[in-house]
Amino acid sequence: MSHEFEIGPVHVGAGRLFLIAGPCVIESESHVRKMADAIQRITSDLGVPYIFKASYDKANRTSLSSFRGPGLVEGVAILRRLAESTGLPVLTDVHEPAHCAIAAEGVDVLQIPAFLCRQTDLLVAAAKTGRAVNVKKGQFVAPWDMRHAVEKITQSGNSRVFLTERGATFGYNNLVVDMRSLPVMRALAPVVFDGTHSVQTPSAANGVSGGQPEFIPLLARAAVAAGVDGVFLEVHDNPAEAKSDGANALNLKNLRPLLETLLAIHAAAK
């Protein structure tokens, strides 16, 4: 069964590795434009189909005082202007069913956060917008059980769904990636590997999540060799100063060499 579909110029599930990348959260309009332009230059040079990612609200931060973003209305407006000015497809998280239709006015892909992948009303609302839907596999969900999330979307009239692996809970404050999940989920829908959240150490850094970004290239290489349709990377030009998830972000300066390696592995694996 073919799961191929298009998100603007990006052909998902068609055999060409694509990238989803950007800062975790919208820190400012100028910053997301700076990041989008920098990443777009790299992906254009390398011929990598690219979807920009940033969140208007990080609703599941560890601490009440953590930065969450500009909010739904302002954030979606920023993402809409970014899409119009760059021509890039854009992805953002949604956390509540009522947000889906509003977010869909400004972006091409609605992403269901891992913690919410079983929330039926959210999945159905996202599906009914007609936008592509990316469901992140919950840290607590077996890969074969993601068929239920896929069915909630497809049975709501939307066949443009893909899944993202971002690690599974391993004890406390730790995640581990089982590469067997990739072919299991790929039988259900196209699959993306999240190389940055997979190295997160959740809530392990005194009120925020920590991370082990030195392992991003290792896990991304393994996932591409195992077979995925796309790679998801949170990328920041100064991770130490990032307002969300900087501890597990990929430094912008490391993006080009990593993509070059991943493309070589993808070509060899094919």
- 5-269 maps to which CATH number? 3.20.20.70
| Element of type H or E holding 220 | helix 216-226
| Alpha-helical regions (H) of 49-188 | 72-86, 97-104, 120-128, 147-154, 181-186
Report pLDDT for 261: 98
Q: Supply φ then ψ for residue 267, to 5 degrees.
A: -65, -40
Which residues, other chains included, contact 226 with Cβ-Cβ below 8 Å and sequence gap of 6+? Answer: 179, 182, 183
**Nearest Cα residue to 123 out of 137, 112, 107:** 112
Show the low-confidence residues of the chain (pLDDT under 70): 1-2, 61, 65, 204-208
Q: Supply φ then ψ for residue 39, to 5 degrees.
A: -70, -40
Report the alpha-carbon angle 6-101-146, nearest 5.
Answer: 60
Report pLDDT for 194: 97
**Nearest Cα residue to 110 out of 121, 124, 100, 98:** 100
Report pLDDT for 69: 87
Question: Would you say 124 and 142 are in contact if contact means Cβ atoms under 8 Å apart?
Answer: no
Report pLDDT for 208: 66
Q: What is the pTM of this model?
A: 0.95
Report pLDDT for 204: 63
Strand-pairing partners, residue 234, are: 22
Domain boundaries, the chain: 5-269
Report pLDDT for 235: 97
Report pLDDT for 229: 98
